[in-house]
Amino acid sequence: MSSHPPEKSAGAPDRPIGTLTVALFAGMAALAGVRSLTLAWSNGTVGDLRQALGAAQPHLIPLLQRSAVAVAGAYAGDAERVPAGSDVAIIPPVSGG
């Protein structure tokens, strides 16, 4: 019998280690009915964040897919890590002219 803890499989979700408060703007805030959402978070990626927000508020999924994500004041791609406690904003597309 081994005394080592079992290794986590690559697909296993991390346990939440903190929270992430996500600011919502414009049409995203209107659709969600709030200006921010707080999620249990485990230092996932922007892509993970999109999935978590979609799971928490499924009606946001179509707009989430088209929205930009800013982490610590800079736009971030889906592969970028988002540490718990980061300053995060979801910025929906704008129209007009």
List the chain domain ranges.
18-86
Q: How far apart are CA 65 and CA 60, in angstroms?
A: 9
pLDDT bin (cut points 50, 70, 90) of residue 96 is low
pLDDT digits (tens, 9 = 90+) for 24-71: 999 999 999 999 999 999 989 999 999 999 999 999 999 999 999 999
SS3 content of the chain, % helix, strand, coil (to 5): 30, 25, 45
CATH 3.40.50.2300 assigned to domain 18-86? The reply is: no
2 has pLDDT over 90: no
Question: What's the pLDDT at 1?
Answer: 45
Global pTM? 0.80
